[in-house]
A and B are shown apart, each in its own frame.
Chain A
Amino acid sequence: MFKDHVKLAIKNLQHRMSRSLLTLLGIAIGIMAIISLMALGEGMQQAVTGELSSLSDVIVVSTGGGFFSSFGSGGTPSEYFTDRDIATVERTQGVRDVSTQLSASAFAEYNGKKTLISLTGMDVMVMTLQYSNQRLESGDLLTENDQNQIMIGYGIAHDTFEADVSIGERITINGKKFFVSGIFAKQGMSGFSSDSLVLMNSRDFKKLTGQSNISIIYLRVNDVNEVEPIAARIQDAINQNHGRKDFARATTMTSILETVQSIIGILQLVLVAIASIALVVASIGIMNTMLTSVMERTREIGIMKAIGATNQNIMSIFIIEGMLVSSIGGIVGIVLGIFGSQGLTVILNNFMMMGGSSNLAPVITLISVVLAVTVSLIVGVLSSLYPAWKAARMSPIEAVRYE
């Protein structure tokens, strides 16, 4: 019986081909939007996870408000780590590669204008770790052998002095000349902003300022599984050194990863929710088409009832029709979504500042495909339920009525 109903539904859809195709297109577009946005979200998720998990053995210890408030922001913290803190960190078991980020205020002069800047110094190894994914407007990252060279943020290059600074030019900092060897691209409002950064290696920093104001300590652990407990131990130990509970904060990439992932998760949900609107519109489209079809087929429905179709038979014929439209639409939508997500990625990579994630690739998961098929089937059933019920309620007398 089911097979007959499917056959009947297919014949009816073929009979009204252009209308069926248009209805189907609505569903296809809705599913396409969902598939491609989910693929994009998943791609972001994986890109970020991939980048950050390569740093999963890294712990960042910072003073005050934590990692996000001071990380590369160029802001000068008011408190610094002491040599004792460094020693504490180095003594901690399972720790290797301890390095530091230094901060100080300094006067910079270029083209006759003098201004106060905050200076950041770090080991080239740390610099590479932290900035290798960042887009550069021009120039290169510093290397181990570079001397008296600096990298500057977009804001320093273009908005701080009266004239733009470009690669190879010299900025005088605290009376000493430094060559600009790299300029970071514009970052905007993000917490990771490098716009006002003036970056040099720690050797030059110490020589220039005579200080070693450590605002951030970077370290690696030997065993990735130990990263969380070691971070906690270091944080406690440093806080004990200062007799305060909130002096330092040790952050692992894992916890950053979790935060970023949950942010992307929310973003993904919002995107899919927006895409779902298209699907709702499409399902109204199915309902509308089906209602028209029910009206047109009043006589046909009456005939079928007269020759013995039950209400359930009639309902199932119409519901199968709706499900066919929506599931074929869903499959077309999945295919379009696979292409659509590629297109979206190209657009995003070209026109948006994706920072380090410029090689974003869409990821179509099996779950998203299964979800799309399920959703389209449900949409098909739900949107044909009312028209089908209306059809089933029709009186068989309509069929024998003279016109």
Chain B
Amino acid sequence: MSSLPPYAGPLERTWFYTYRTICAAIFVFLIVPVFVIIPLSFNELPYFTFTPEMLSLDPAGYSTKWYVEFFTEQSWRDAVSNSFFIAIFATLLSTSVGTVAALGLSSPAMPFRSTVMALLISPMIVPLIISAAGMFFFYTRIGLASTHLGVILAHAALGTPFVVITVTATLVGFDQSLTRASASLGANPTRTFFKVIVPLILPGVISGGLFAFITSFDEVVVVLFVGSVEQRTIPWKMFSGIREEIRPTILAVATLLVLISMLLLTMLELLRRRNERLRGMSPG
């Protein structure tokens, strides 16, 4: 249905344009909620809607004061540093353990492969509220609740499935004879790993890492249960902000988060193209 064939009748013609309109409406539904908050975050008044001044494009209706509030208020700054601290360490942990496991899982010699895989993927499938409740119970028992370490471990557990999936996907096209060639040329397994395997699977590792990062950075249910005020992250602040006192500062934060996700999306797309080039496929 990429374009109308010349022999199309009037009915087909009408349907073609109706269908295109329906699709356009669905794309609008998908994208408007992401972009509508950007102009709203520059509202002069503390409302979540467009004021008449904003609609008439009067500069007095716009202001950056919510951004100023975000950057100056201590509790938001704490939330930002907590979010990055937790997400970075959770990413490092899940990426390293996940990549090594993906290497093992991709080996044809791995016994009970699909069962093990199903287990390793399960943190992605089990509803977050159940993981959060279980972690709350168990981490309280062993003294990890309300600590940064506890939240990092919990987030790393939630992020590993993404690393395992992306890295195993990269390894599907991996030529095993390269490691044998490296070994026959005298490299030990460690050297082979860092000089041959890592450069080739790096795009998969990085995109898995990005998934793990965004999982932790966006996550709120587990932090709410396992963490305490000391571990308050950006999503936590947003969640409690929406529930308690709703201020446009949240819209300013949301706008910044949209920019971050645009950045991540661009990075992932570049990685995907690089990976396809490495494997000799044409970039899409």
Partners in one complex: no
Hey, which bits of chain A sit against chain B, CB under 8 A? none
